[in-house]
Chains A and B, each alone.
Chain A
Amino acid sequence: MAENTARDAGILVVACVSGMASGLFGIGGGVLLVPFLVLLFAFEQHRAQGTSLVALIPPTGLLAFLGYAKAGYVSWRIGLLLIPGVFAGAILGAAVAKKLHPRRMRQVFAAAIFVLGVWQALSAWGG
C-alpha cells in the first residue's frame, strides 16, 4: 500500500512537469509522459501509451488554453478544422500500433522530431 502511494506520488510529480511543458509549448504532454512512465516507472511501452491516452481524455490543457485565449493566441477556424482529422487518424494509428513492434517506429519518429527541433532552434536563434 505504501509502495503504491509512493509510486502514485512519483507519477503525480512527473505529470506536473509534463503539464508545465504542456502550457509552455501548447502540447498535450503525452510526449513526455510516455517516456517517463517507461523509463522511471517500468511501464511496458504499449501500456504507457494507453495510459497516456487516458490522461489526454479530460480537457487537461483547459487552464493553459484559457491563458492563450485571453491573450488572443487561438485560431478557432483552423483548430476546429483539425479536430476531426486528428480523431479519425488516432483510431487508425491505434489499430496499426497493435500490430507493430513499436520501437523502430518510435525511433523514426524521434529522429524526425530531433531534426524538427534543430530546425526550429536554428530558425529562431541562428541568423
Chain B
Amino acid sequence: MILLILLLGLGVGVLVGLLGIGGGVVLVPAMVYLLRMDQHLAQGTSLLILLPPVGLGALLGYWKHSQVDVRAGIICAIGILVGGYPGSLIAIPLSPRHLKGLFGCFLMLTAVLLWRKRQPQKVPTSGQSGEAASG
C-alpha cells in the first residue's frame, strides 16, 4: 500500500514537471479510484500535497532555459490564493455525489482547453506577447 502511494506520487510528479501543472487534477481521481477515498477527502488531501513547493525542482529546470515569466507568475499566485477560498466555500457543503460529477465535467473542460493548439503567432491587441515581457 505504502509502495503504491509512493509510486503514485512519482507518476503524478512527472506530469507536474512535464506539463507545468500542480498535479491535483490527476491526484484527486487517483486517490478516489486507487485509494478509495471519498471525493471531499481526496480534494482536501490534494490541497495538502500542494502546500509545500512540490514543483520547485521542476521550476529550476524551466528557469535554466529562461522559460519563466516571474511577473506574470506572481500575479497568478495572488489570483489563485484569493480565488481559492470562495471555491472551497462552494465545495464543502456540496453532496459528494454532485461534487464528483462536477469534477468530472471540470476534467472534460480542461481536456478541451489542453487539447487546443497554440494560436499561430497572433499577438492580441491588448498587451505584448509573453516573450517581450521578460522576467
List A contacts of B63 (CB < 8 A): 50
List B contacts of A95 (CB < 8 A): 17, 61
List B contacts of A47 (CB < 8 A): 67-69, 130-131
Bitwise interface map of B from 77 to 88 toward A, beta carbon under 8 Å scored 1, else 0: 111111111111
In the assembled complex, the Cα of A50 lies from the Cα of B110 at a distance in Å of 18
Q: Which chain A residues numbered 30 to 53 have a C-beta less than 8 Å away from chain B? A: 30-53
List B contacts of A13 (CB < 8 A): 79
Bitwise interface map of A from 110 to 127 toward B, beta carbon under 8 Å scored 1, else 0: 110110111111111100
Bitwise interface map of B from 86 to 127 toward A, beta carbon under 8 Å scored 1, else 0: 111111100001101111111111111111111101111011
Residue of B nearest to A14 (CB): B79
In the assembled complex, the Cα of A123 lies from the Cα of B39 at a distance in Å of 12
> How distant is A51 from chain B, measured CB to nearest CB, in Å?
4
Contacts A55-B80, A73-B43, A84-B6 given; indicate if A105 touches B18 (C-beta within 8 A): yes
Count B-side interface residues using an 8 Å CB cutoff: 114
> How distant is B6 from chain A, measured CB to nearest CB, in Å?
5
In the assembled complex, the Cα of A51 lies from the Cα of B65 at a distance in Å of 12
Contacts A61-B47, A82-B49, A111-B111 given; indicate if A20 touches B83 (C-beta within 8 A): yes
A118 touches B108 (CB 8 A): yes
Count A-side interface residues using an 8 Å CB cutoff: 111
B77 touches A73 (CB 8 A): no
A55 touches B77 (CB 8 A): yes
List B contacts of A117 (CB < 8 A): 103-111
> How distant is B128 from chain A, measured CB to nearest CB, in Å?
6
B17 touches A93 (CB 8 A): yes
Contacts A4-B127, A90-B13, A120-B101 given; indicate if A26 touches B28 (C-beta within 8 A): yes
In the assembled complex, the Cα of A68 lies from the Cα of B37 at a distance in Å of 14
In the assembled complex, the Cα of A92 lies from the Cα of B58 at a distance in Å of 8
17 extra interface residue pairs, beta carbon distance < 8 Å, beyond A8-B75, A53-B55: A18-B83, A24-B106, A43-B129, A46-B65, A47-B130, A48-B20, A49-B21, A50-B20, A62-B81, A67-B89, A74-B41, A89-B13, A107-B115, A116-B107, A117-B108, A120-B29, A120-B32
Q: List 5 A-B contacts (CB under 8 A).
A: A38-B118, A44-B131, A78-B31, A93-B16, A106-B19
